Homo-oligomer: A and B are copies of this chain.
Amino acid sequence: MKYNPVELILKKRDGYALAETEISFFIREYLAGKIPEYQVSALLMCFFFQGAMPVEISALTRSYIESGKTLSFPDDLPVADKHSTGGVGDKLSLMLAPIAAALGLYVPMISGRGLGHTGGTLDKLEAIPGFNTQYSMEDFKDLVLKHGYALVGQSPQMVPADKMIYALRDVTATVESPALITASIMSKKIAEGAKYLVIDLKIGSGAFMPTLSRAKELAEHLIATGESFGQKVKVLFSNMNSPLGSAVGNALETIEAIEYLKGNYLPDTYEITTALVADMLLMAGFAADFAAAEKLIQGAVESGKALSKFAEIIEAQGGNPRVIEDYSLFDTAKYEVPIIAEKNGFIQAIDSRAIGYALVRIKAGRMKTSDILDYSAGAKLPFKIGDKIMAGEELGRVYCNKESEGKEVARLIQSAYAIAELPPKKEPLLY
C-alpha cells in the first residue's frame, strides 16, 4: 500500500491536515476492501474531534464522487437543486421542484427516505399510487432533460463511497461532524450535475442542528466545498421549532403540497419555498432581485403551470396524476383522533422531534430503513409557536388505522406542546 493507514489516522488524530492523495487513498482502499472498517471508524472519529480544512473536505468530497458515476448536463443548461437537512413536515421539495421547472430551471432532484423523526421526500412521492423513484442515471437524466426535472432516489452507481461511509458513521457516533456532513451532502449534489444549489439548513427542535452557530460552521463548509467544484451555493437558515406547514405524514403531506400548487398556501411553507426558489432563480440569473423572483414564482403557481408540471412528472414516473383532483386515490386512514389542548394560553415551544418520533408508532415514519410505512398515517398540526389556544380546543388531529395507537400518539403529541399564559418571544422563520 502507498500509505500506512495507521500513520494517516495518527496524523489526523494529532491535528495535521491530510493531503488530497492521502484522503483519496484511504477512501479508495476502503472501498476495495483493503482498509478495514475499524480503521475507517477511527479516522472518522478523528474528523469529528479535529474538524477539517477546506482542502480536506474538498478532497473527501472528490473521493466520494470518484467512487461512482456522475451526471453532466450541457454547459448552457441552468441546472439547479435544493437540499434540506431534514425536518418534521418538510414537504417543500414537492412544491419547489415543479415551480422551478415551470420557470425553466432544470432540477435533477435526488431525495432520500425518512428515518427517525424526520420524513423523506421519496416516501411522500411513493404515497402517490404507482409513482416510481428508482431510475438508472441515464434514465434519470433523460427525465430531467425532457420534463425539466425528476424526483428520484439515489442510484447505487452514484457516490457509493458516501453510502458505505454514511452507514458506518451511523453506527459509530460520527454523524454530527460538519466536515463529514459537508462531504456527504456536496458529493451527491455535485455528482448529479447541479450548477446552482440552495440549501435549507434547518435549526431547532425538529432539526439535526440544534443551534445557529453550529449551523453557520456547516454552511461555511458547504459553500466553500461547492465553490471548489465550481458550484454556486446559497444557504438559508430556517426555523424548525414548529413542524412545517400543517400536515405530517406521507399522503397528508403530498396532499398539502398539491393544495399549495393550487394556490392554497400556508404562511410558513410559502415563506420558505419562495425564499428557496428565489435563490435558485437569482443564482441562475432568471431574476434581478427577490421581488422579481417572487413575482415569477407566484405566476408559476397562479397560472397553474407548476401544478401541470407536477402532473407531468407524476405521469412520467409511472404515478396516477388523477390524485391531483381526487385525494381518495391516496391511502386513507380509518380513524381521526383529535388532540385536545389541556389549558388556555400561548404555545411556547413545540418538541417537533418528539412529534416525529411519536408518529413513527403509527408508521408515518420509520426507525430502521427496513420498516414498512403506512402512507395514510400522520397528523394535522396547524398551530405554531406563538399561537393562542383554549383548553378543550383541538390542537390537531392524528390519522391512523388503529384507534388505540392513535390515541397514544395523540397523547404524546399533546405533551410535545408547551403552553403558558404569556405569548413567547417571536421567532423568525428564516434567520
Contacts and interface: CB of A to CB of B under 8 A. Distances in A.
Contacts of A40: 38
A39 B42 contact: no
Contacts of A41: 38-39, 41-42, 45
B39 A172 contact: yes
Given A37-B38, A42-B44, A46-B173, 19 more contacts: A5-B171, A6-B170, A6-B171, A6-B172, A9-B173, A13-B45, A13-B48, A13-B173, A38-B40, A38-B41, A38-B168, A38-B171, A39-B171, A39-B172, A41-B45, A42-B42, A42-B45, A42-B173, A45-B46
A367 to B, nearest CB: 12
A172 B9 contact: yes
A5 B172 CA distance: 8
21 contacts: A6-B170, A6-B171, A6-B172, A7-B173, A9-B172, A9-B173, A13-B45, A13-B173, A36-B37, A36-B38, A37-B38, A38-B40, A38-B41, A38-B172, A39-B41, A39-B171, A42-B172, A42-B174, A45-B45, A45-B46, A46-B173
Contacts of A48: 13
A41 B171 CA distance: 12
Contacts of A5: 171
A292 interface: no
Nearest to A170: B6
B173 A10 contact: yes
Contacts of A49: 45, 49
Nearest to A8: B173
Contacts of A9: 172-173
A180 to B, nearest CB: 13
A174 to B, nearest CB: 7
Nearest to A36: B37
Nearest to A44: B42
Contacts of A13: 45, 48, 173
Interface string A20-45: 00000000000000001111111011
Q: Which among A45, A48, A168 has the highest number of chain B CB atoms within 10 Å? A: A45
A6 B174 CA distance: 9
A13 B36 CA distance: 22
A242 to B, nearest CB: 27
Contacts of A170: 6
Contacts of A168: 38
Nearest to A168: B38
A6 B6 CA distance: 23
Given A45-B13, A48-B13, A173 B38 contact: no
Interface in A103-120: none
A247 B341 CA distance: 84
Q: Which among A9, A40, A41, A49 has the highest number of chain B CB atoms within 10 Å? A: A41
A368 to B, nearest CB: 13
A411 to B, nearest CB: 25
A45 to B, nearest CB: 4
A230 to B, nearest CB: 35
A171 B42 CA distance: 10
Interface in A55-72: none
Given A38-B38, A38-B168, A173 B44 contact: no
A25 to B, nearest CB: 16
Contacts of A38: 36-38, 40-41, 168, 171-172
A97 to B, nearest CB: 34
Nearest to A39: B172
A48 B170 CA distance: 20
Interface string A155-186: 00000000000001011111000000000000
